[in-house]
């Protein structure tokens, strides 16, 4: 291994709140650019039982003392801190072979994911440690016995074994949902690029933001850490199929049914629609998208395009245009001006990719790319993992095997001719489960047929045409709000997907009992639970003072025909059901003319509102509105208004969800809904 004057970092692991230096048996970690040693790594001096214990005894209670909202606040501070200090990471990132654009995806993309989860947590999760899953279910005739599902944080730890290709994003995209859920993490980055992950972890540790034991880092092997997992833990893996099998079948993981999430090999496809002709905007979009997804991160992306499916009639045009575009890629030292694609992570990886190209070439012709003597700018091709874009063309896609099984984890993709949409679907499916497929088509029928055929084999489908391409986030970008993962060969795991990503770290439990017990437990009042009466109108009481179940019953109000007609002419809603007795009678739902639903809502508000300035700041909307029984002229309505749920939003106000029931003179329910108001935290009015 080449040595230079560059400082070699002895990579420390961060275990039990201490930095443990690389042990004496440390192995060199090579720069992707020139093979020089950038770091030495070994975790042999780490006591893995103590790592697991530290996470359980220190990190776990510290996180459980916070609520979902509290942890969302922590994520936001962490994201801000990393954003303020990220510049130092960019320089180091070059050594992984990343260009500046690649580094932005890794570093800024990772920090952006943290910010996104902070926002999701703040907006969508409660200020408690119990998340409700679905509605309350009536389980008895009298309503005294009900059930519902709740979710609570696992009483365990998360072990994240990550791939080399995204040392920052790969850590943060798993860390964000785990910490939001309340589960401490032990991160084991791939050794080849662990120096960049370690630099980011050092920034996190130095910030002092995370409580002790919440985050630990293993630089080097995983040791016997998996021997210490329990049924409350989660192991999340990104990497090769082979390693995923080793970890999934680890005796402790298998025995304890420890949750296991895997993301691994994926033979992602880009499909050109049968409707797209050369020269059309969609044709150009396809060429651009495929070329980009082959070359970003030198193709070392789990989402990179490996199979390019094109109608047989168009394949020559696609092959020519793609080859022309790819031939303009400048491979070299990513620090050098003009270089658009860096090296693979190392010489071993290049050898691995070359072997896989050989396997593919048994079934495909080489269209573009000098595999053995790449032209390289500003670097020595013999010392770094340089490889140009390699474009292949399958000779007989239906008979091919390697095409659908071998993931060459570099800038390598194969053109595949297909006959019709059915054939395109069948060929894509032979990848046996992928993370993502892109289809470029302007024909909604083609898009729908492809999507239905491909969806169960994919975690994400990216359907683009000229209308969306300009703003598309791209085939290869997992987004915090959308699911990232895929079935079958891709691992069967799911990451991200907004709050879905948090659910992996929560246990769902069915709870049965009386409405009163479930109100306290779930922080959510439901009809049947005791009502709380106060002397003061709830609109005059500040957010903190309001109690769950606090209820007012309004005076009654009679709805006259004159009211209905006035409302109709005032709003312009002269729909026949309100204005034409004969037509209304002919309608199977109405006994004759009836009041507008919106009139009922408006009168309800008129009945329960307390008008003077006070803590209620705004009407924020309605949920679950149902009109259950018509209101006829001269019916009398009254309202029950009850505090259903309270969610603090910030230091100034919180959201109050009110359970509203409108009844008629016979006690029958005519409408139900949930009203949302924003209420000041302190009482503003006497
Ligand atoms: P590996 O599966 O070898 O490594 C992934 C992670 O697992 C690394 O952190 C590695 O640590 C760790 N690991 C490896 N062996 C063990 C073990 N026995 N016990 C515990 N941890 C282990 O994948 P690579 O990153 O080397 O990539 C190899 C191939 O995998 C690529 O060429 C590509 O085909 C595929 N891959 C697919 C990805 C995807 O998302 N689709 C992402 C990355 C890779 P260490 O580095 O210390 O060995």
SS (H, E, C) 187-199: EECCHHHHHHHHH
C-alpha pair distances (Å), 241 with each of 10, 244, 490: 30, 5, 8
Residue whose Cα lies nearest atom 44 of ligand 1: it is 239
User: Could you give the strand order of the β-sheet that contains 37-41, starting from the edge strand earlier in sequence?
Assistant: 9-10, 37-41, 27-30
Domains of the chain: 48-263 (3.40.605.10), 268-480 (3.40.309.10), 531-680 (3.10.129.10)
The answer to whether the CB of 33 falls within 8 A of the CB of 384 is yes
Q: Are strands 269-272 and 434-440 parallel, antiparallel or unpaired?
A: parallel
Spatial CA neighbour of 576 closest among 596, 562, 559 = 596
Distance 675 CA to ligand 1 centre (A): 50
**CA–CA separation, 682 and 610 (whole Å):** 17
Q: d(Cα 261, Cα 659) in Å, to the nearest integer? A: 39
pLDDT at 9 (0 to 100): 84
pLDDT for 226? 98
Question: Whole-angstrom Cα distance, residue 532 to residue 296?
Answer: 60
pLDDT at residue 215 in the model: 98
For every residue of 566-598, which 3-state class applies, written as one string? HHHHHHCCCCHHHHCHHHHHHCCCCCCCCCCHH
Atom of ligand 1 nearest to the CA of 240: 30
Residue 495 beta carbon below 6 angstroms from any ligand 1 atom: no
| 479 CB burial (10 A radius; 0-12, 13-18, 19+) | middle
Which helix (H) or strand (E) segment holds residue 421: the answer is helix 421-429
User: Which secondary-structure segment (H or E) carries 316?
Assistant: helix 315-326
pLDDT digits (tens, 9 = 90+) for 378-433: 999 999 999 999 999 999 999 999 999 999 999 999 999 999 999 999 999 999 99
- If you ran DSSP here, which 8-state letter would residue 343 be given? -
Q: Which residues of 178-211 are buried (b: 16+ CB within 10 A; e: fewer)?
A: bbbbbbbbbbbbbbbbbbbbbbbbbbbbeeebbb
Our answer on whether the CB atom of 431 is closer than 6 Å to any ligand 1 atom is no
Residues 382-406 as b or e (16 or more Cβ within 10 Å = b)? ebbbbbbbbbbbbeebeebebbbeb
The pLDDT, as a whole number, for residue 8 is 80
Angle at 403 between CA 166 and CA 96, to 5 degrees: 20
User: Which residue puts its alpha carbon closest to atom 47 of ligand 1?
Assistant: 191
Q: What was the pLDDT predicted at 1?
A: 43
> Which atom of ligand 1 is nearest to 491's Cα?
41
Give the catalytic positions in this structure: 263, 302
From the CB of 164, is ligand 1 less than 6 Å away?
yes
Q: Are strands 483-485 and 669-680 parallel, antiparallel or unpaired?
A: unpaired
Q: How far is the CA of 238 from the centre of ligand 1 (A)?
A: 7
Atom of ligand 1 nearest to the CA of 41: 47
Q: Which atom of ligand 1 is nearest to the CA of 435?
A: 41
| Contact criterion met (CB below 8 Å) for 49 and 55 | no
Give the model confidence (pLDDT) of 104-125 as tens digits.
Answer: 999 999 999 999 999 999 989 9
pLDDT at 84: 97
Identify the helix (H) or strand (E) that includes residue 513. Answer: strand 506-513
* Sign for the pseudo-dihedral over CA of 550, 554, 559, 565: negative
Model pLDDT, residue 5? 53
Q: Is 239 in the pocket of ligand 1 (CB under 6 A)?
A: yes
> Nearest to residue 527, comparing CAs of 674, 663, 665, 642?
642
The residue whose CA is least distant from atom 8 of ligand 1 is: 190
Confidence (pLDDT) at 651: 84
pLDDT in tens, 521-558: 889 999 999 999 999 999 999 999 999 999 999 999 99
How far apart CA 471 and CA 463 sit, in angstroms, is 12
Q: What is the pLDDT of residue 3?
A: 45
Q: From ligand 1's centre to the CA of 114, what distance in Å?
A: 24
Which value does ipTM take for this structure? 0.95
The segments of the chain whose pLDDT lies below 70 read 1-6, 683-686
Q: Is 163 in the pocket of ligand 1 (CB under 6 A)?
A: yes
**Scanning the structure block, which residue is given the tokens 């495909």?**
364
pTM, 2 dp: 0.92
Residue 43 CB–ligand 1 contact under 6 Å: no
Q: Please choose, from the candidates 265, 266, 270, the residue with its C-alpha nearest in 3D space to the C-alpha of residue 416.
A: 270
Ligand 1 centre and the CA of 190: distance in Å?
Answer: 7
| Burial (CB count within 10 angstroms: exposed 0-12, middle 13-18, buried 19+), residue 561 | middle
């Amino acid at each position: 291994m080449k040595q230079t004057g560059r400082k070699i970092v002895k990579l420390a692991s961060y275990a039990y709140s201490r930095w443990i230096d690389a042990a004496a048996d440390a192995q060199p970690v090579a720069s992707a650019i020139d093979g020089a040693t950038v770091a030495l790594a070994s975790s042999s001096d780490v006591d893995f039982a103590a790592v697991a214990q530290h996470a359980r005894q220190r990190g776990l209670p510290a996180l459980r003392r916070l609520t979902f909202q509290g942890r969302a606040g922590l994520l936001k501070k962490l994201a801000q801190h990393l954003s303020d200090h990220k510049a130092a990471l960019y320089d180091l990132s070059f050594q992984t072979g990343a260009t500046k654009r690649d580094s932005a995806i890794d570093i800024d993309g990772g920090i952006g994911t943290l910010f996104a989860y902070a926002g999701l947590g703040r907006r969508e999760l409660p200020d408690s440690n119990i998340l409700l899953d679905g509605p309350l279910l009536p389980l008895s005739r009298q309503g005294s016995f009900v059930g519902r599902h709740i979710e609570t944080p696992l009483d365990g730890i998360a072990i994240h074994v990550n791939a080399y290709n995204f040392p920052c994003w790969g850590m943060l995209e798993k860390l964000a949902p785990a910490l939001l859920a309340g589960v401490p993490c032990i991160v084991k980055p791939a050794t080849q690029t662990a120096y960049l992950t370690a630099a980011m972890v050092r920034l996190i540790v130095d910030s002092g933001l995370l409580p002790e034991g919440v985050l630990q880092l293993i630089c080097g092997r995983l040791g016997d850490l998996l021997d210490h997992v329990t049924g409350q833990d989660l192991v999340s893996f990104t990497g090769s199929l082979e390693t995923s099998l080793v970890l999934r079948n680890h005796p402790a993981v298998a025995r304890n049914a420890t949750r296991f999430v895997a993301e691994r090999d994926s033979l992602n496809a880009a499909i050109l629609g049968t409707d797209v002709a050369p020269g059309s905007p969609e044709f150009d979009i396809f060429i651009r998208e495929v070329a980009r997804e082959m070359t970003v991160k030198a193709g070392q992306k789990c989402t990179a395009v490996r199979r390019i499916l094109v109608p047989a009639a168009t394949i020559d045009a696609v092959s020519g245009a793609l080859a022309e575009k790819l031939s303009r890629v400048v491979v070299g030292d990513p620090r050098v001006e003009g270089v658009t694609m860096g090296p693979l992570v190392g010489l071993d990886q290049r050898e691995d990719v070359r072997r896989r190209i050989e396997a593919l070439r048994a079934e495909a012709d080489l269209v573009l790319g000098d595999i053995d003597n790449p032209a390289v700018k500003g670097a020595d091709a013999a010392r770094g993992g340089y490889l140009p874009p390699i474009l292949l063309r399958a000779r007989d896609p239906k008979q091919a095997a390697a095409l659908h099984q071998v993931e060459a984890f570099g800038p390598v993709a194969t053109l595949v001719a297909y006959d019709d949409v059915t054939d395109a679907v069948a060929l894509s499916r032979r990848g046996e489960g992928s993370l993502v497929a892109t289809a470029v088509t302007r024909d909604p029928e083609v898009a729908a047929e492809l999507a239905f055929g491909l969806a169960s084999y994919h975690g994400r489908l990216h359907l683009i045409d000229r209308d969306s391409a300009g703003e598309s986030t791209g085939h290869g970008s997992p987004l915090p709000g959308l699911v990232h993962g895929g079935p079958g060969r891709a691992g069967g795991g799911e990451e991200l997907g907004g709050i879905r990503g948090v659910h992996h770290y929560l246990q769902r439990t069915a709870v049965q009992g009386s409405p009163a017990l479930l109100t306290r437990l779930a922080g959510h009042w439901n009809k049947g639970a005791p009502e709380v009466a106060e002397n003061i109108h709830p609109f005059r009481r500040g957010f903190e003072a309001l109690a769950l179940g606090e209820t007012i019953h309004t005076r009654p109000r009679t709805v006259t025909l004159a009211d209905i007609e006035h409302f109709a002419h005032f709003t312009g809603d002269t729909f026949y059901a309100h204005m034409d007795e004969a037509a209304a009678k002919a309608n199977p739902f109405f006994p004759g003319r009836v009041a507008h639903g919106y009139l009922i809502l408006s009168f309800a508000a008129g009945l329960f509102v307390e008008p003077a300035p006070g803590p209620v700041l705004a009407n924020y909307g309605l949920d679950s509105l149902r009109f259950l029984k018509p209101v006829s002229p001269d019916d009398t309505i009254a309202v029950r208004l009850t505090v259903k749920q309270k969610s603090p939003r910030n230091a100034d106000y919180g959201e109050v969800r009110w359970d509203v029931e409108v009844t008629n003179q016979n006690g029958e329910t005519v409408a139900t809904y949930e009203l949302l108001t924003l209420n000041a935290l302190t009482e503003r009015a006497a």
